[in-house]
Amino acid sequence: MATPRTRKFKSLTIKSMELALSVPQVFAHRVARMALAGPQLSDRDRKEFQIMLHEKHAAFAEAWSDMAMLAFRANQALTASMLSFYFTPFSYTRAAASAAAHVQNAAIDVLDKGLAPIHRKAVLNARRLAKIKLC
């Protein structure tokens, strides 16, 4: 049986598509900037490359911590639902369907939380770097 798609799933899809479009733009701009800079970096290039490294570390650290916390909470909720499943023996089908829906929604939520900081940084960088000329 097909499950109805939630707003979170659509948001995750849109974020993934925006990320797929933004990352190559940012990557191309930064690689071109590195190639044009040569061995002697200007202050502007040095600052941009330092910002690039710091924001990548910050975005991935935020993504991992958000995903870990949400996964921990989802596991607690799943454990609680499984315990209620054992204490109400005549509602097997309803409890099993509820647990399956919970697992699916939790997985979508964890992916959405993990993608959010990376998406935010990549889209902002694409907009910012599109305004900067390479030469």
What are the pLDDT digits (tens) for 62-110? 999 999 999 999 999 888 877 877 777 666 666 677 777 888 888 888 9
Answer whether 102's CB lies under 8 Å from 127's CB: no
Could you tell me which of 117, 125, 112 has the C-alpha nearest to residue 6? 112
pLDDT for 85: 73
Q: Is the pLDDT of residue 3 over 60?
A: no
Nearest to 10 by CA among 115, 114, 112: 112
Task: Find the mean pLDDT for residues 44-53.
Answer: 88
Per residue in 68-77, pLDDT (tens digit) is: 999 999 999 8
Tell me the residue length of the chain: 135
pLDDT at residue number 23: 93
Closest by CA to 1, choosing from 101, 120, 130, 125, is 101
Per domain, the residue ranges of the chain are 59-135
Reply yes or no on whether the pLDDT at 4 is more than 50: yes
- pLDDT, position 61: 95
Cα–Cα dist 47/16, whole Å = 28
Cα 74 to Cα 33, 51, 85, 92, 93, distances in angstroms: 43, 34, 16, 21, 21
Q: Supply the pLDDT for residue 44.
A: 86
User: Do residues 16 and 120 lie in contact, with contact meaning Cβ atoms separated by under 8 Å?
Assistant: no
- Burial (CB < 10 A; 0-12, 13-18, 19+), residue 132, is exposed
Q: What is the pLDDT of residue 87?
A: 76
The predicted pLDDT at position 1 comes to: 44
| pTM assigned to the model | 0.73
